[in-house]
Structure 1
C-alpha cells in the first residue's frame, strides 16, 4: 500500500495593503524576497516557493531591487520560483468580467517574460467565488481551482469549523453554469495549515499529530496538502531541516517539499472522481450561519466601488472599442497605455483593497490610482474619438452655410441606443496666436450671436434641442508638432435626444443657423403638473412622502411605494453589517418631502424630491467599549445614540421620451456615523428566486436562505442589476457602482439597494480604527428602474441595464469629407440571449477581438457581420490564441452556435 504523502508547499499570501499601508507591506516584501533569494542561491535543499499566484510581486520587488532581476530569472527558469497566472489576486464579485480577463492575460504576458505561468487557479482568500470561474479557468488552460472560502463556515480571525461543508472532502468537482468542470481544492484547514513547521523533535511531534489528523479528516486520498505560509509570512528558510525531522518521526510517511503541479499530479494519479462531491455555480458560503461571509465589503466605502465601476467601464466599454475603431482607420492602437492603465486600475482590485476593508491610508492611495488610470483612459478616448470624428463625412452639412458646428455621437454599447445626450461645444474660438489683446479676444467671443441656431441630424431633420450659453471659456490645444495653442471660446451646452444610434457605431448631427426655421411641433410634455411623469412605456406618480408609483403599460402591472429610504444602525465593521438588537429601522414613509419640477423638455422631464431626515448621530458609547475589547461583531450589544443629526437627501427622478426605465439620482449629505442607508423598491411579484448580474453571468439565486442561515441580514453581491420577475412581469433595478442588495422577506419581495454604509473599524483579527470609513460628506448614487414583461432577457431589460453603465461619447468636428457615413457601425450582430462584453485589439496578432456571453441557459445562435476589410472570423478563448477560420456563407459574416452560459470570443483576422 502506498504510504501517505505530506506535500508541504512554501508560499506567502501577500496582501499588498491591508492593516498596514502599501509601502510598509512593500518594505517587508523586499526583505522576504531578499532572504528567499539568498536561501535559493545557497543550494538545492530548499526546493521551491510559490509567489502567491500574482506577478505584481515581481514588479513590486524589482522596483526597489532591479539589480536582482537575473537572480529571479534563474530560479524561475529552474522551476524553483513559481509565478502567475494572475497579475494580482483580485476580488471576484466586485471586479468586472473583463477586468478578470485582463488580469489573466497580463499575468500570463508578464510570466512569459521569465518563463511560463503556473497553471494554478489560485484563490486562497477570495471572499466567495463567481459561478463562471470554472469556465474562465478552462479557457485559460487551467483545470483546477484552489480556494479557501465559499463552501464552508469561516469565523473570527479566519477560524474554520468542522461542520457545514458542501463537499465531502477537501477535493471536489466544481462545475460552472455552462458545464465546465475543474478539480476544486478547498483549503479546508486554511492556507496556513503547514505554517512554521518545527525543527525540534518534541515540538514537531505535537505539531504533526494535530496537523496530520486535521488533513486526513477532509482529504479523499493519502496525498495531504500542507501550506507553509500565511498572510505576509516570511519564508520558513529552515523548512528542509524541519522536513528531515518529520521524516525521522514518521518513517511510514513520505514528507516532501512540494509544489502545486507535483501535488496535483499525485492527487490525480490516485483520486477516485466518483467519490467526490460536485459543487455547482457560485461559492458564496450560503450553507453557513451567515455571519462570516464578508459580503458587506460590497457596501464598505461605496465611493471606491463607484470609482472602480467608472474606471472599468471607461477602459473596457469606451476606450478599448474606440481605440479599435480608430485603429481600423489607421491610428496606432496604444497597447502600452492600456496595459499601464489596466495595471494601475487592477492594483485596486485585491480583496482588501476594492472591498474597502483596510486602514484609511490604503484607501486614500486607491483614490489616486483610480484617478491615474482614468486619466490615461480619458486621453485614449479623446485621441480616438477625434480620429473617428475626422473620418466621418460631414460634408452634407455644408448646405447650411458657414456657421455650421458638426458633432458626432458615438454609442459604444453592444446594442442600438436612444437616449438623452448632453455635450459642450465651442460655438466660436479665437486663438491667442492671432495677436489680439486679451481684452479684444474676450470681447470678440462675448459678441458671438447665438440666436437662430438649431440642431439637425444627418438626414436634415430638425432635432429638439436645449442650448445653454456657458459664456466665455479658456482652452488650449496640444498639437503633436508644435507648442501648446491657447485660445478663448464661446461655449454652449447642447442637450437633446439621440435616436437609434447603432451599436458600436455613430451618428452625426450639426448645430446650424437657419433664418427660416423648420422646427416641428414640439411633442407633448412628459409632465402632468409636478407629480406625474409619463411616456409611451411607463407612468410615474409621485406621492407626498417622496415615494412613487410606477405603472408598466406593456404588462399592466403597477409597482407601489417605490423609492422609500431606510436607515438602520450598523455596529459591525468594514467586513460585515450588524444592526443593533431590538432597534427598528427608520424610513421616510411618514416623512413629508419637498417636491418640485427640475426639468421639463420634450425629450426629458425631471422632478426633484428633498428630504430633511432626523436620524441618530452615531452608535452609543458601548460600541467603542466593545470594539476595544474585540467583541465579535454578532455578539455586540451597542445601541444607537440619543443624539441626532439631519440627513439631507436630494433625489432627482428623470423620465426620457424614448426611455424604457426611470432614472434616479440621489445625493446624500451624510453627517451621521455607524449606520446604513438603503433605497426600497417593493415588487409584489410572487417568486421564490431572483436574477442578478454577476461576472459573465445572470445568476439565479433563492430569496429564502438555506436552513443553516442565522444572520437576520441576507445581503448579496451584484454588479449591473438585480431583477425579480415571474412569467408575466418583472422589475429590474440597475445601479452604477452599488454592489450590495437584498431581496427582503417582507411578503412583497422588496429589492433593497444599499446606498451608503458608515462604520468605524476594519474588523477581523484586531482593533484597527477607520474613521474615514464613516463616509461623512456628500455622496451621489445613480439607479434605473426598468419594468418589463416576461423575463429580462427577451424583454430587453438586461440590455437596458447594461447600457445604463456606459456613457455616451460625443466629439465636435468640422465640415469635411470622410470615409465613414454619418450613420455608421463597423459591426452588426444578432442574438437576443447574448450580452456584448468587449471589443479590443490583440497585441501579438493585430486581430480585433469581440466577446459576448450567453445570459440564458439555452443554446443560441450568434450572427455577426462586419464591413471592416478582413480575411476571416475565428473563435478563440479569453487568452486570444489564434484559431481556425469559422465557416462563412457570405463574405464578412458568420453564424455560430453558442452554448448555454458560454463566454465566446470571436477574432477578426485582417
Structure 2
C-alpha cells in the first residue's frame, strides 16, 4: 500500500492592510521577505514558498528593498518562490467584471517580468466566489481553483456523508461555471493554517500531528493531504525542514514533502479514483447557518463602494474606449497611465480593503487612492474627448455664432436621456491689471434666449443655466499656461439616440440667430414620460405605472431604519427588533423644475430615530461577544434624520432616477429603501460578475440568520411572463429580497457600526459614517422575463456617465453622428473596448447574459479607418482568451459581416487589428 503524502506548502496570507494601517503591515512585510530570501538561499531543502497569489507583494517589497531585485528574481526563476496569477487578492463580488479581468491580466503581466506565473486559481480568503471564475480561469490556462469559503463540504459535526443536503462531502470537487467550464476545486476545509508552526521537538510533534492527520483525512478524497504552513501575516518558519525531519522519523507511514501548489494539484488529479461532486455557479455559503458569509461587508462604509464603482466606470467605460478610438485616429494609446490608474484603483480591491472591514486609517488612505486613480482617468478622458471632438465634423454650424460641442455615449448601445455640458460662450485672456474690466465686459454679454440645435440645425429641448463669469486656464502643449476669464453656461439637453460607443454633435446658438425653441411641455396632473408615470403619495412613497405593460407598483421608496449591533463584517439587528419606516410619516413635496428635458421632484422626510445603541453594546463589544448572541437595544435618545429625495423623470429614459441625501447623526443603525414588486416568484435575478445570476428568495434549510442579504453589482430584479421591476444602483452593493407577500426588494443605503469585528477589539468610529451622505439608485420597470436583458442594459447605462466636450466649427474625419462599433446580438452585453496588450491591437469583450445561445454580428463600416472597417480577408478580427492571446482568425461573409455563435453565458474576447493602408 502506497504512503499517504503530506504536502506541506509554506506560505503567508498577506492582507496588505487590515487591523493595522498599510505602512505598519508594510514594515512587517519587509522583515518577512528579508527572512524568506535568506532562508531559501541558505536551506536547499526549503525548496518553495507560495507568495499568496498576488504580485503586488513584489512591488511593495522592492519599493523599500530595490537592491534585492536580482536575488528575488533568481529565486522566482528557480521555482523557489511561486508568484501570481493575480495582482491583488480581491473581493470578487465588490469589484466589477472588468476589474476582475484586469487583476488577472496585470498579475500575469507583472509576474512574467520575474519568471513563471503560478497557474493556480487562488482565492484563499474571498468572502464568497463569483460563479464565472471557472470560465475566467480556464481562459487564462488555469484548470484549478483553491478557495477558503463558499461551500460546505461536510455534514453535521464534520461527518463525511454523501448527502444531497451539502454541496460536497470532500474538500476536492468539480466547480462548474454557468457556461459549462469546469475546474478542479479545492476547499481549505481546515482553513489555510492547518500546517502552521510545525514543531521540531518529538514531544510537541506527537501532540501536533495525529489531530491534523485526522482532520485532513476526514475531508480528503485522495491520499494527497494538504497542510498549509502559514496564516495571516505569518512569518516564515525557518526551521521547517528540521520539523519535517522529525515528522518523517515519527510517522514513517506518511511521506512528507515541501510542495508547490502545482505539484499538489497534479498529485490530486492523478490520484482521483472516484467521481467528485459538481458544484455550480456562485459559491456563497448558502448551506450554512448564514452568520459566516460576511456578506454585510457589502454595506460597510458605503462611501468606499460608491467611490469604487465610479472609479471603475470612469476607467473601463470611458477612459479606455475613448483612448482606443483616439488611437485609431493616430493618437498614442496611453497604456502606461491606464495601467497606473488601474493599479492604483486595484490597491483598494483586496478583500479587507474594498469590503470596508479594516481600521479607520486604512479607509482614509483608500479614499486618497480613489482620488489619485480618478484624477488620472479624468485627465485621460478630457484629453481623448477633446481630441475626438476636434476630429468631429461640425461644419454644419458654419456661418453662425455657434458654440459646438459633442456629446459622447460610452454605453453598449444607443441611448437617450439628459446630458450635461458646461460651455464657454466667450473668453478673454487674463491681464491681471485689467481683470475687473474683463469680468464686467463678459458679464454684460446678452446670452438670454439662446437655443441648442443638433447637426441638422433642428432645435433640441434643453435647459440653459447662466453660470456667469468664471476663471479658467489652458495648458498648451507648446507654450506656457494661459489663464483667462470666460462667460459660461450649463446646458442640460435631451440627447436622443446617441449611438452606443459613439457621439452626436450639437451647438449653442444665440438668440440673434432667430432659431425657434421647441414647444414646452404643458403642465400635467400626472408626472411621467413616454414609458411610465408616477404619483407621489402623502407619505413620500411613489406609485409607478408602467405605460407599456399597465403594471402598477405601489409604496416604492419607503425608507426603513433598524438598529445594528453588529460590526463591519456582520449585520445584527438590535435586541428590541423594532422596525421604523417612513410609511406613516407625512412628507413635504415640491416640484424643483419641470422642463422639456426632465422633471425633478423633491420629497423631504423629517424623521426622529434612536441616536445609538444602548450602553450594553459597549460591554458586548469589549467582551467580544459573538454578533449572533448580542442583545443590546437602542437608546431612548433620538436625533433627527432628514432625508431629501430628488426624483428625476428624464424624457426618453426608461429609468426613474433617484438621489437621496441626508446628514447621518445616528450610530449603530441601518437605513434601507424598500421597493415592493408585487411579483409572485420564488427566484430573483441579480447582476453579478459577467452574468445575471439567478438566486432563490428563500435561503437553504440550514440558514438561521434572520437576515438574507446578498451582493449585487448594477441591479437586482424580479419578473414573470408579463412584467418586471429592476432596481439599479451606483455603489449600493447590498440588497435583500424580503420574505413578505409583496416580494419587496430592500436596498441598503447606509450601515453605521463602530467596530471592525473578527478576532479582536478594534474600534472604528469612522465606520459610523457620520455626516452628509448621498446615494443614487433607479427604478426600471420592464415587460417581463423576455425583456430582462433590456432592463440590464438600462442599469448598465445608469452607471455609465455621459461625457461632452466643447469644440470649434470645423471639418473633420468623423461624421457628426457616429458609432465606432457596429454590432448586434440578442442578450449580449458589451463589457470592454480598449487598447490591447500589444501595440496596434484593440480588444472588445462581450458576454451572454442568458442561458440561450445567440449570435454576435459585426458589420463593416462605410469605408472610414474606424473600428470594424475591413471587409477584406482576413477581417482583422481574431478570437482571443481573457489574457488577450489570439487563438484564431474570424472570417466574414461575402457581405463583409462577421457572424460569431455565442454559447449560453459565454464570455467572448475579440482582438481587432486595423488594416494596413
- Is TM more than 0.5 here? yes
Matches within 5 A, 1:146-161: 146-152=146-152
- Give the corresponding residue for 2:93: 93
Matches within 5 A, 1:742-757: 742-757=736-751
- Give the corresponding residue for 1:421: 419
Matches within 5 A, 1:197-346: 197-272=198-273, 274-346=274-346
* Alignment check: 8 A CA contact 1:861 1:897 kept: yes
CA distance in 1, matches of 2:561, 2:370: 30
Matches within 5 A, 1:165-204: 165-204=166-205
* Alignment check: 8 A CA contact 2:55 2:111 kept: yes
Matches within 5 A, 1:589-738: 589-738=583-732
CA distance in 1, matches of 2:157, 2:671: 32
Task: Report the Cα offset of residue 850 of structure 1.
Answer: 0.5
Match of 1:528 among 524, 534, 542: 524
CA distance in 1, matches of 2:596, 2:506: 18
- Give the corresponding residue for 2:753: 759
Task: Report the Cα offset of residue 583 of structure 1.
Answer: 2.2
- Name structure 2 gaps, 5 residues minimum: none
**Residue 528 of structure 1: SS of its match in structure 2?**
coil
Task: Report the Cα offset of residue 514 of structure 1.
Answer: 4.7
- Give the corresponding residue for 1:823: 817
**Residue 307 of structure 1: SS of its match in structure 2?**
helix
- Give the corresponding residue for 2:798: 804
* Alignment check: 8 A CA contact 2:86 2:103 kept: yes
Task: Report the Cα offset of residue 524 of structure 1.
Answer: 2.7
CA distance in 2, matches of 1:635, 1:153: 26
Summarize the Cα distance change of 1:380–1:891 in structure 2 as closer, same or farther, 3 Å threshold: farther
CA distance in 1, matches of 2:773, 2:859: 43
- Give the corresponding residue for 1:439: 436
CA distance in 2, matches of 1:410, 1:818: 16
Deviates more, 1:726-735 or 1:885-894: 885-894
CA distance in 2, matches of 1:342, 1:160: 44
- Give the corresponding residue for 1:22: 22
**Residue 713 of structure 1: SS of its match in structure 2?**
coil
- Give the corresponding residue for 1:787: 781
CA distance in 1, matches of 2:520, 2:219: 69
CA distance in 2, matches of 1:793, 1:799: 10
Matches within 5 A, 1:852-871: 852-867=846-861, 868=866, 869-870=869-870, 871=875
Task: Report the Cα offset of residue 119 of structure 1.
Answer: 0.2
Provide, for residues 421-463 of structure 1, a one-character-per-residue CA deviation record: whole Å limited to 9, x for no partner.
1111101011126x87212222221122213421110011111
CA distance in 2, matches of 1:859, 1:848: 25
1:904 corresponds to 2:908: yes
For these two proteins, the number of residue pairs brought into alignment is: 899
* Alignment check: 8 A CA contact 1:723 1:792 kept: no
* Alignment check: 8 A CA contact 1:18 1:362 kept: yes
Task: Report the Cα offset of residue 165 of structure 1.
Answer: 4.7
- Give the corresponding residue for 1:384: 384
* Alignment check: 8 A CA contact 2:520 2:595 kept: no
Task: Report the Cα offset of residue 828 of structure 1.
Answer: 1.0
CA distance in 2, matches of 1:665, 1:452: 30
**Residue 279 of structure 1: SS of its match in structure 2?**
strand
Matches within 5 A, 1:433-582: 437-515=434-512, 517-519=514-516, 521-525=518-522, 528-529=524-525, 532-582=526-576
CA distance in 1, matches of 2:208, 2:706: 39
CA distance in 2, matches of 1:451, 1:279: 65
Task: Report the Cα offset of residue 602 of structure 1.
Answer: 1.2
**Residue 275 of structure 1: SS of its match in structure 2?**
coil
Provide, for residues 41-84 of structure 1, a one-character-per-residue CA deviation record: whole Å limited to 9, x for no partner.
11311111010000000000000000000000110010000000
- Give the corresponding residue for 2:82: 82
Task: Report the Cα offset of residue 688 of structure 1.
Answer: 0.5
1:430 corresponds to 2:416: no
* Alignment check: 8 A CA contact 2:492 2:597 kept: no
- Name structure 1 gaps, 5 residues minimum: none
**Residue 762 of structure 1: SS of its match in structure 2?**
coil
- Give the corresponding residue for 1:373: 373
* Alignment check: 8 A CA contact 1:88 1:349 kept: yes
CA distance in 2, matches of 1:667, 1:99: 29
**Residue 373 of structure 2: SS of its match in structure 1?**
helix
* Alignment check: 8 A CA contact 2:153 2:189 kept: no
CA distance in 2, matches of 1:153, 1:468: 62
Task: Report the Cα offset of residue 521 of structure 1.
Answer: 4.8
**Residue 827 of structure 1: SS of its match in structure 2?**
coil
* Alignment check: 8 A CA contact 1:873 1:909 kept: yes
**Residue 428 of structure 1: SS of its match in structure 2?**
strand
Summarize the Cα distance change of 1:521–1:91 in structure 2 as closer, same or farther, 3 Å threshold: closer
* CA RMSD across the alignment: 1.5
TM-score by length of 2: 0.96
Deviates more, 1:5-14 or 1:444-453: 444-453
Task: Report the Cα offset of residue 538 of structure 1.
Answer: 0.7
Provide, for residues 874-900 of structure 1, a one-character-per-residue CA deviation record: whole Å limited to 9, x for no partner.
111110012321010147531100000
Provide, for residues 235-276 of structure 1, a one-character-per-residue CA deviation record: whole Å limited to 9, x for no partner.
11110000100000011210011110111111111112x431
* Alignment check: 8 A CA contact 2:836 2:911 kept: no
Provide, for residues 492-536 of structure 1, a one-character-per-residue CA deviation record: whole Å limited to 9, x for no partner.
1011100000010000001013546342551534x635xx31222
1:878 corresponds to 2:886: no
* Alignment check: 8 A CA contact 1:793 1:799 kept: no
CA distance in 2, matches of 1:404, 1:424: 15
CA distance in 2, matches of 1:372, 1:160: 49
* Alignment check: 8 A CA contact 2:724 2:788 kept: no
Task: Report the Cα offset of residue 847 of structure 1.
Answer: 0.9
Could you list the structure 1 runs, at least 4 aligned residues long, displaced by more than 4 angstroms after superposition: 159-165, 792-795
Deviates more, 1:66-75 or 1:436-445: 436-445
Summarize the Cα distance change of 1:344–1:162 in structure 2 as closer, same or farther, 3 Å threshold: farther
CA distance in 2, matches of 1:535, 1:637: 48
Summarize the Cα distance change of 1:847–1:516 in structure 2 as closer, same or farther, 3 Å threshold: closer
CA distance in 1, matches of 2:318, 2:83: 32
Task: Report the Cα offset of residue 845 of structure 1.
Answer: 4.2
CA distance in 1, matches of 2:489, 2:832: 33
TM-score by length of 1: 0.97
**Residue 318 of structure 1: SS of its match in structure 2?**
helix
Task: Report the Cα offset of residue 539 of structure 1.
Answer: 1.1
Task: Report the Cα offset of residue 559 of structure 1.
Answer: 0.5
Task: Report the Cα offset of residue 307 of structure 1.
Answer: 0.0
* Alignment check: 8 A CA contact 1:617 1:645 kept: yes
Task: Report the Cα offset of residue 395 of structure 1.
Answer: 1.0
* Alignment check: 8 A CA contact 2:891 2:898 kept: yes
**Residue 888 of structure 2: SS of its match in structure 1?**
coil
* Alignment check: 8 A CA contact 2:452 2:459 kept: yes
* Alignment check: 8 A CA contact 2:153 2:169 kept: no
Deviates more, 1:868-877 or 1:138-147: 868-877
CA distance in 2, matches of 1:866, 1:584: 61
**Residue 314 of structure 2: SS of its match in structure 1?**
helix
